[in-house]
Each structure stands twice: as structure tokens, then as C-alpha cells.
Amino acid sequence: MGKRIVIIGGVAAGPKAACRVKRIMPEAEVTLIDQDNLISYGGCGIPYYVSGDVSDEKELRSTSFHMLRDEYFFEKAKGVKTLTSTRALSINRRDKTVELENVKTGVKSLIPYDTLMLATGSKPVVLPIPGRDADGVFTISDLHKAIEIKERIARGEVGKAVVIGGGAIGIEMAEALTDLWGVETTIVEYMDQLLPRIVDWPMAEALAKHLRDHKVEVYLGEAATEIVEQNGKAVGIRTGKRMLEADMVIMAVGVRPRSQLARDAGLHVSEIGAIVVNERMQTSDPSIYAAGDCIEIRHLVTGKGFFAPLGSLANKEGRVAADNMAGIPSVFKGGIGSFIMKAFDMSIGATGLSLEAAKAQGYEADVSLTAPSDRAHFFPGSEILCLGLVFDRRTRKILGLQGIGPMNDALSVRIDAAAVAISAGAAIDVLANMEMAYAPPFSTAIDAINAAAYVAENLCDGRMRQIDLRSFFAWMADFSSRPEWIALDVRHVKQAQPFVEKYGREKWISIPYDEVRDRYRELPQDKTLIIICNAGSRSFEIQVFLDAMDRKNTLVMPGGFNLVRRMDAGLVA
């Protein structure tokens, strides 16, 4: 008989590892165990199942060749023994056995292993607030919950919903509820921005505006303090500031590693409870491997431990675990948290560190904000892509890239290219000359990512000085907060004039880009000029010119109107 390999957890890392190890080591006896009866599903597809884009939950459990990934599939097609509805109760590391319980019959049994793998995943955080157990309160923990959510909506039981949590899952669920079903949906986020720690404020603000434009209400900086119930059923939530009616409450406030089994067995787990593994996905017990949402990996930028519960990583970790269980010395070096999501007509994504995260990690971090075309501006259908390239001024290393763009793959192109560069420890100068494939229907001769690196170089080398956008918006809201500032709008007169008329010449000056060389003497010398254009590049050119003319009291508004217009509807004259 071959080696006995037991894998606990049947969603992503587990099935991937089971199939791979059986392929490499066909003589092994591989057993896949899950407490659920539905396994190997695309959990990231749940919002699209709820929205109706995916009509049947079975599609989330099927292969690309339309075969259901059930027990039969794993046994027959993959040669993997599959025990569903079976819970692992405990691990006996000395005897190398796992105690199992059939959750339907209650019958217990022992399964011996030569090598064990834990792929126990993560569980959603449930806020410890009153009403959390009321009927109508959901977390997005598994397919059963998703099916129940969809059935309630389809039965017409949900007119209003509140999503607690402005992370990716919360936002995707809000879109799903609103877009197809017309449920009046509100997102309540405790932090003062959406996608906290993932993107920085400007991108989050553009996302919030886009959601609001699509009838999703967004309340930031508000904690849900109570779920209000009537007869055991949720009817709303209370925040510090208001009461919101809701027939359904979705709690999407993050996930935690599911690691009790590992902890009970005395395996090394991190402070937040993630199983600690080495590059070969081995736990502190060399006979036990772990992969997926239950583990901690190394962050390739910071070098520190990193909890990254992402389906993309789970599969790769599972494959590396399988290789090593079968004697192939593959390694998994770590991750950087590459992320992308759809939000109505917009894509938003990030990889590596945000500016805020980078500063918190001690980097001398700065950000290049740009807003160029995603493809040749003369090509029909080109759209604006806003990018934030985070870098370290000391080492010039790229730390992260984030962006918002149209709902196509234009943002993916740049996020993924940057991810490869960041994983390799590249500097901004590498990205400046990176050869991105160019043809007008796809990109620009100077690609958006090249342009982002150019601006980063100009910032690093002290050729460009920019204004912080929060400060800019604060000033726009209250000019008296910074009486020494004045806007120099270098766009076409037709674009600038309405602003001059609205705010007055003492706040907003219009001199078109091509006239500044002749007319710069008209500019006030006692003011700080905030130079404004569409994308930031003309502003930079004017700043450099004015520097040469010894008018150095200027700041560029990075990303220009292309960016700030997406952030605040009020900024229209």
C-alpha cells in the first residue's frame, strides 16, 4: 500500500493538493475530508451567484468542462477518497491519527495518516453586538448561506438590506443586492474609508462615490452597535449615528483563520491564530502540512508574516504542499496580496502596500497619482485609469500599486505587471522602462504604468512637488483654511472659466498651458499656486517651468480633474 495522505478541508487548497499529490504519487492513498456536503466551490463567485450573474450554485462547483466536483468526481476522475459531512475532531500526532465524526450519524472513527494536511480555511468574524443571532443576519461563510440569501431575496422578503463592512465581500454583496434585485442597500463601515488597509483614501473615495451614484448608500466612520430585532427577526441596525431599517443584515467584517484543530494539536500558530508554515508549507510538525486561509505566509515586501485569505493563493499553496508531500522540493516564497474587484461599472484593485500601510511599516513612502488613458486616447472607447504607485523614497523600491478604472481588464494589466515587479523587488526605474505590449486598441505608447513610474521618479528626484488630496479637498470646502493658496488652472479656458466664475479670481486663476510661458508674470508672487490640469502632467510641466523662472511656490494637484472629478461630485463648477 502507498503512503497514506489525509487532507482536512475541501474547498480550495485541500482539493487542489489532493488531486496534485495523487497525480504525482499515484500509488498514494489520498483521503479528502470536509465537514460540509458541498465541496470544491468557487467561494469568490458567491456574490455573482447571489446577483444572478451565475444562475445555479452548481456552476460554482463545476469544472470548466461542466462536471460537478462532488464525491463521485474526486473518487472516479481524480482517484481521491472523499469523505464529506465528516468533521475532524482532533489530531493524535504521536499515533498519527485523526479522530473523525460523521456529522449526520454522529459515528466516530479514527483515520491513520503518514502525512496530514490542514486546509481548514477561515471563518467570518461575527461582531459581538446584540442581535447578531437574529433571523436575517448572515455572514458569507459557505454556499448554504449564499443559497439561503438568494432564496430569501427571490421570494421577495428583502426590501432593504444593510451590509456591515466596506471590504471587498461587503461591496460585492451590496452590488449583487442592488443591481439585479433592486434591494435598497446600505454599507456601514467602521473606518473612515472603504477597503481600509487595501487602498488609500483617494481611490476609496472614488469607489464610495461610484457606489452612491449606483444607489448604494455608504456610511463611513460608523460602527454598527446593535442589530435591532422583532420577534427574533432582524429589522434594522443601529450605528452610533442612526438607525437603519433592514430585512437582511450581512456581516462582512473580515475572516479569521480556522485553526482550532491545529492549536489543540499543539502546532505553532501566530498571534491572530494563523498556522505557521515554512516555505514548503510544513507546520511545526514535519508530518503535517497546511495551506489556504488557515495559514500565515510571508509578505514579499515587508518580509513579515501575512494573513492573506485569497482563493488565488490557497490554490498555489495547496499545490506546493502537494509537491512536498510527494517529495518534490517546491517552495512558496510568499505573497503580496494582489487584489481586484468589480463595483458596478468600475474596477478597483491593488497589490503590495498602500501608502498608509507602507508608512506604518516605516518606509519613507510616497505615492505617484496619475490618471492617464487606458488605451490610445484616439482609439474609440478609451477610458481613464487612475493609478497610485507607492514607492520608498530612500531605496526607490516599488512598494505597491493601486487603482480604479473602467470595468474591463485595463487595471488588471497594470496590477499584475506591478505585482511581478514588486515580487522581484524592483525599483521604480525598472517600471519606467518596462516594455508593455503596445497597440492603440490595448494601451498607450507610454503605458500607464510607465507614466506612473515617471512621476514617481520626478517625485523621488525632487523635480515635482505635489499637494496632498485630503488637504486639497479641505481647502475646497473652506478656502479660509489656507488663505495663502490659489488655484492655477492650466486647462483650456472653456474648462477653467466656470471655476473662475464660481470661486472668483482671488481663488482660481485661469492661464492655459500653452500661454504660461508668455504670461507667467501675471501670477501672484505672494501665493502658493495649486496647479491644476486634467491628468497632472501639464501641471508638472508648468511647475518645472515656473521653478526655472524662480517661482517655486507651487504644488501640483496629482491626477488632475480626471481623478478628483471621480472623488467628489461637488467639484463641478
Per CB under 8 A, which of residues 65..84 are in contact with a second copy? 65-67, 72-73, 76-79
Give residues 294-333 in contact with a second copy (rule: CB under 8 A).
Answer: 310-316, 319-320, 328, 330, 332-333
- Please list the residues that pair with 404 across neighbouring strands: 348, 386
Nearest to 495 by CA among 465, 538, 455: 538
What part of residues 126-145 is at the interface with a second copy (CB under 8 A)?
none
In contact, 547 and 504? CB cutoff 8 Å: no
Least spacing, CB of residue 473 vs a second copy, in Å: 23
- Measure CA of the first residue to CA of the last residue in the chain; give whole Å: 78
Amino acid code (one letter) for 83: L
Tell me the three cell numbers of residue 202: 483617494
Amino acid at 339: F
Minimal distance, residue 442 CB to a second copy, in Å: 5
Q: Is 443 in the site for a second copy (CB under 8 A)?
A: yes
147 lies in the binding site for a second copy (CB under 8 A): no
Query: What is the C-alpha to C-alpha distance for residues 282 and 287, in angstroms, rounded to an integer?
Result: 7
**Residue spans of beta strands (DSSP E) within 224-327:** 224-230, 233-239, 243-245, 248-251, 255-257, 275-276, 288-290, 295-298, 305-306
Q: Site residues for a second copy, window 155-174 (CB under 8 A)?
A: 168, 172
Asked if 23 is part of the footprint of a second copy (rule: CB under 8 A), the reply reads: yes
Active site residues: 44
Distance CA(198)–CA(55), nearest Å, equals: 30
**What angle do the packed helices 537-548 and 448-460 form, to 10 degrees?**
30
Q: Check residue 493 for interaction with a second copy (CB under 8 A).
A: no
Q: What are phi and psi for residue 228, nearest 5 degrees?
A: -85, 130
Alpha-carbon distance of 97 to 474, in angstroms, equals: 62
Which three cell numbers mark 518? Answer: 508668455
Smallest gap from Cβ 130 to a second copy, in A, equals 34
User: Mask 212-251, x = binds a second copy (CB under 8 A)?
Assistant: ----------------------------------------
Q: Which is nearer to a second copy, 43 or 124 (CB)?
A: 43
DSSP characters for 370-416?
Answer: E--BSS-TTSTT--B-EEEEEEETTT-BEEEEEEEEESSSHHHHHHH
Q: How far is the CB of 366 from a second copy (least distance, A)?
A: 19
Our finding on whether 520 is near a second copy (CB under 8 A) is no
Question: At its nearest, how many Å lie between a second copy and the CB of residue 27?
Answer: 7
C-beta of 255 vs 417, nearer to a second copy: 417
Alpha helix ranges (H) inside 155-200: 168-179
CA 156 – CA 497 distance, rounded (Å): 50
Name which position in 102, 225, 423, 497 contacts a second copy (CB under 8 A).
423
For residues 23 and 317, give the distance between their C-alpha atoms in angstroms, rounded to a whole number: 16
Contact 531, 556 (CB under 8 A): yes
Our finding on whether 64 is near a second copy (CB under 8 A) is yes
Instruction: Give whichever of 503 and 520 is closer to a second copy, judged by the CB atom.
Output: 520
Q: Going residue by residue from 1 to 20, which x/- string records binding to a second copy, judged by CB under 8 A?
A: -----------x---x----
Give the residue with the Cβ less far from a second copy, 2 or 266: 2
Shortest distance (Å) from residue 341 CB to a second copy: 5
CA separation (Å) from 128 to 137, 258, 271? 13, 18, 20
Q: State which of residues 69, 150, 397, 538 lies at the interface with a second copy (CB under 8 A).
A: 538
Judged by CB under 8 A, the residue of 110, 272, 407, 572 near a second copy is 407
Asked if 27 touches a second copy (CB under 8 A), the answer is yes
Least distance in angstroms from the C-beta of 180 to a second copy: 12
- The residue range among 85-93, 121-129, 223-231, 418-426 that interacts with a second copy, by the rule CB under 8 A, is 418-426
- Under a CB-based contact definition with an 8 Å cutoff, are residues 160 and 183 in contact? yes
How many chain residues touch a second copy (CB under 8 A)?
A: 111
